[in-house]
């Protein structure tokens, strides 16, 4: 892999694939340890993408320099604390962080928290002290894989193909493709995963499957007490999982090495931190951590063992899901599409209308309609970068294999221009930083030194407050789009056992907003749930923009929905 013709897929995805340019064609790199084969449909769409080739001021095409000048002039007039730097995950390359250095020195307000995995990450950190995945080889060496709130075949297709011959168990309210391939599918009620984790812990104890060492040396007993605080039968009722399926679960895993692949589905709720921590505590209880075979994988901190090359000191940070754009004289949006991807769309749009919006991205997305200045970012094939993965330890490297599209500049070039304009201190050298990330060897830092079990939790359950005519709202990723990029699907999916007909036009309402959708039936969805795909243009008119309990994380599913015929 020393040739300079590899290209990292920049998309926000577990796999972090690597392509190669050979004989004028870009193909999956067969020599990359996880990519191996063909790339996915999203990558194919990215290759065909219509990248921005012009800068704009007030919707008028202008030269790139004019746009940068206008932006600099504006920044110089403003109080930095009335400006916001907002970065999304449109490109996950590490070098995308250069603009952070400029905005930190200028003094903008930054965001904290996440629209994605933040609550679950914090839950794992509270138990283990860090959120670092075990090496992939331990997943490959295990016998049974429990896929929990993760759409595994679809959101990490290359990792899946390395493990496709394993025995699977799936925990999901939807009969996903991986649920269909599973020996056992626990079709759980939404937001009851912590109860399932406690129920499994009780059973594990009855089956003498606790990790004896941890049981003696940690607070595992307190976790068991928590699990014992309710009757078995009460768990069956609330989780919707039959006790006989729990028996089957233990029949499958007994004497086997076990992995858990945990997804973001379990944690898009107010108590997402503790829900995740309960699941990781169950994993610790049965001794999954620190084994040569098995473990628990979430969306790990991909840069954990790297030096922080882009560390900044920032005076003020605001919670990402709760950002109120209207509060700022200027907002700078890099690699994001908050008009589609951030919660509470009506509030987002109203906020953007009241602020001066500068968009820095590769494509003309929905957020661009509210931008006063648009600055085209060079596309991924024309800039050097390193892609780390939150799913496994292998990285992908990008060399510039094409010329950048006209009137565009890379994140580094942008930051260099702005830093010079403002007379700021020099940026870290590009080649040195790139080489550091590209060459640093993998160090396994996944060992859990001390496990701190969950001892108490309070969760406000939906099942106690949901009215008969209300639905749980679930989100899933989709094969043909990557969040708001590429080909979206704007339907609302529901189990056919409902009071509507397929094709009906309905108004969906939550306490945060409403939107109209066309209904499609899907038997795979648990009754009383509706499913929207991430990237659905209207989905976030319904969602909650408040932060979760502890991690400044979005809680897209902390909402109940009413449907009315239009």
Contacted by 340, from Mo ion, ligand MGD, ligand SF4, none: CB < 5 to 8 Å by type: ligand MGD
| Helix (H) or strand (E) run with residue 228 in it | helix 220-228
Contacted by 158, from ligand MGD, ligand SF4, Mo ion, none: CB < 5 to 8 Å by type: ligand SF4
Per CB under 6 A, 20 contacts ligand SF4: no
Per CB under 6 A, 299 contacts ligand SF4: no
* Dihedral in degrees, nearest 10, Cα atoms 114, 294, 29, 36: -130
Site string for Mo ion, 441-480 (x = CB under 5 A): ----------------------------------------
Per CB under 6 A, 362 contacts ligand SF4: no
Greatest Cα-to-Cα distance within the chain, rounded to the nearest angstrom: 71
Per CB under 5 A, 482 contacts Mo ion: no
Tokens 């990330």 appear where?
437
Query: Shortest CA distance to 19 belongs to which of 45, 38, 42?
Result: 38
C-alpha 467, offset from chain centre: 30
Burial of 134 per CB tally in 10 Å (0-12, 13-18, 19+) = buried
C-alpha 358, offset from chain centre: 24
Burial of 213 per CB tally in 10 Å (0-12, 13-18, 19+) = exposed
Alpha helices in 60-207 (DSSP H): 64-77, 98-106, 118-128, 136-140, 152-155, 157-163, 177-180, 193-206
The sign of the dihedral angle between the CA atoms of 38, 44, 47, 51 is negative
Among 16, 57, 174, 352, binds ligand SF4 (CB under 6 A): 16
Contacted by 16, from ligand MGD, Mo ion, ligand SF4, none: CB < 5 to 8 Å by type: ligand SF4
Per CB under 6 A, 157 contacts ligand SF4: yes
Per CB under 6 A, 193 contacts ligand SF4: no
Contacted by 101, from ligand MGD, Mo ion, ligand SF4, none: CB < 5 to 8 Å by type: none
CB of residue 242 to Mo ion, shortest distance in Å:
32
Per CB under 5 A, 116 contacts Mo ion: yes
Q: Tokens at residue 445, please? A: 């830092």
Segment interacting with ligand SF4 (CB under 6 A) among 15-23, 143-151, 328-336, 492-500: 15-23
Contacted by 56, from ligand MGD, ligand SF4, Mo ion, none: CB < 5 to 8 Å by type: none
What residues numbered 466-485 form the site for ligand SF4, per CB under 6 A?
482
Contacted by 39, from ligand MGD, ligand SF4, Mo ion, none: CB < 5 to 8 Å by type: ligand SF4
d(CA 406, CA 526): 49
Contacted by 9, from ligand SF4, ligand MGD, Mo ion, none: CB < 5 to 8 Å by type: ligand SF4
CB of residue 399 to ligand SF4, shortest distance in Å:
17
Q: Toward ligand SF4, which CB reaches closer, 199 or 396?
A: 396
d(CA 9, CA 39): 9
What residues numbered 41-70 form the site for ligand SF4, per CB under 6 A?
42-43
d(CA 122, CA 104): 25
Residues with Cβ < 8 Å from 32, sequence gap 6 or more? 1, 6, 17, 18, 394, 396
Q: Toward ligand MGD, which CB reaches closer, 7 or 220?
A: 7
Task: Tell me how far CA of residue 477 lies from CA of 185, 271, 318, 543, in angstroms.
Answer: 19, 22, 27, 16
Alpha carbons within 13 angstroms on the beta-carbon side of residue 465 total: 10
| Helix (H) or strand (E) run with residue 520 in it | strand 514-521
Return residues touching ligand MGD (CB under 6 A).
10, 12-14, 42, 88-91, 115-117, 148-151, 154-155, 171-174, 176, 188, 190-191, 193, 263-266, 334-338, 340-341, 360-363, 365, 377, 380, 474-479, 481-485, 534, 539-540, 543, 556-557
Q: Toward ligand SF4, which CB reaches closer, 157 or 351?
A: 157
Query: Shortest CA distance to 332 belongs to which of 54, 104, 16, 28?
Result: 104
What residues numbered 27-46 form the site for ligand SF4, per CB under 6 A?
39-40, 42-43
Q: Toward ligand MGD, which CB reaches closer, 220 or 408?
A: 408
Q: For binding to ligand SF4 (CB under 6 A), which residues are involved?
A: 9, 11, 13, 15-17, 39-40, 42-43, 157-158, 482
């Amino acid at each position: 892999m020393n040739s300079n013709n590899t290209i990292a897929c920049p998309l926000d995805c577990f796999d972090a694939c690597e392509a190669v340019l050979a004989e004028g064609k870009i193909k999956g790199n067969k020599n990359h340890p996880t990519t191996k084969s063909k790339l996915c449909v999203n990558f194919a769409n990215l290759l065909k993408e219509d990248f921005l080739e012009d800068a704009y001021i007030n919707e008028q095409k202008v030269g790139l320099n004019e746009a940068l000048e206008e932006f600099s002039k504006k920044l110089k007039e403003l109080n930095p604390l009335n400006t916001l730097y907002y970065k999304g995950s449109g490109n996950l390359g590490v070098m995308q962080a250069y603009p952070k250095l400029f905005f930190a020195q200028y003094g903008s307000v930054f965001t904290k928290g996440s629209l994605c995995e933040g609550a679950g990450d914090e839950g794992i950190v509270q138990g283990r002290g860090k959120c670092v995945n075990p090496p992939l080889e331990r997943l490959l060496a295990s016998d049974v894989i429990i896929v929990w709130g993760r759409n595994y075949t679809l959101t990490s297709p290359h990792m899946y193909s390395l493990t496709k011959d394993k025995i699977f168990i799936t925990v999901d309210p939807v009969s996903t493709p991986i649920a269909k391939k599973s020996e056992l599918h626990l079709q759980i009620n939404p937001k009851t995963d912590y109860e399932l984790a406690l129920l499994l812990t009780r059973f594990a104890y009855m089956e003498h499957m606790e990790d004896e060492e941890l049981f003696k040396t940690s607070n595992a007993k307190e976790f068991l007490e928590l699990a014992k605080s309710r009757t078995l039968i009460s768990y069956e009722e609330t989780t919707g999982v039959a006790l006989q399926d729990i028996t089957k679960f233990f029949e499958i895993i007994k004497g086997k090495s076990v992995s858990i692949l945990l997804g973001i589905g379990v944690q898009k709720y107010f108590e997402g931190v503790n829900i995740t921590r309960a699941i990781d505590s169950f994993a610790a209880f049965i001794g999954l951590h620190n084994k040569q075979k098995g473990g628990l994988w979430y969306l790990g901190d991909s840069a954990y063992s790297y030096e922080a090359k882009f560390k900044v000191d920032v005076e003020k940070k605001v919670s990402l899901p709760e950002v109120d754009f209207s509060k700022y004289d200027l907002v700078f949006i890099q690699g994001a599409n908050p008009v589609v991807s951030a919660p509470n769309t009506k509030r987002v749009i109203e906020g953007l209308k009241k602020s001066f919006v500068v968009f820095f991205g590769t494509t003309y997305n929905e957020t661009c309609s509210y931008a006063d200045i648009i600055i085209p970012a060079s596309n991924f094939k024309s800039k050097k970068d390193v892609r780390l993965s939150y799913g496994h330890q292998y990285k992908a490297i990008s060399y510039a294999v094409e010329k950048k599209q006209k009137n565009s500049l890379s994140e580094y070039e942008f930051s260099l221009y702005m830093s010079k304009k403002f007379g700021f201190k020099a940026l870290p050298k590009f080649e040195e930083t790139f080489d550091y990330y590209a060459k640093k060897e993998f160090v396994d830092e996944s060992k859990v030194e001390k496990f701190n079990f969950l001892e108490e939790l309070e969760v406000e359950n939906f099942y106690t407050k949901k009215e008969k005519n209300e639905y749980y709202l679930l989100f899933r990723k989709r094969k043909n789009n990557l969040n708001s990029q590429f080909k979206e699907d704007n339907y609302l999916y529901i189990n056919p056992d409902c009071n509507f007909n397929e094709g009906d036009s309905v108004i969906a309402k939550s306490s945060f907003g409403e939107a109209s959708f066309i209904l499609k039936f899907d038997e795979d969805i648990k009754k009383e749930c509706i499913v929207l795909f991430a990237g659905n243009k209207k989905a976030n008119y319904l969602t909650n923009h408040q932060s979760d309990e502890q991690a400044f994380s979005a809680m897209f599913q902390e909402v109940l929905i009413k449907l009315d015929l239009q």
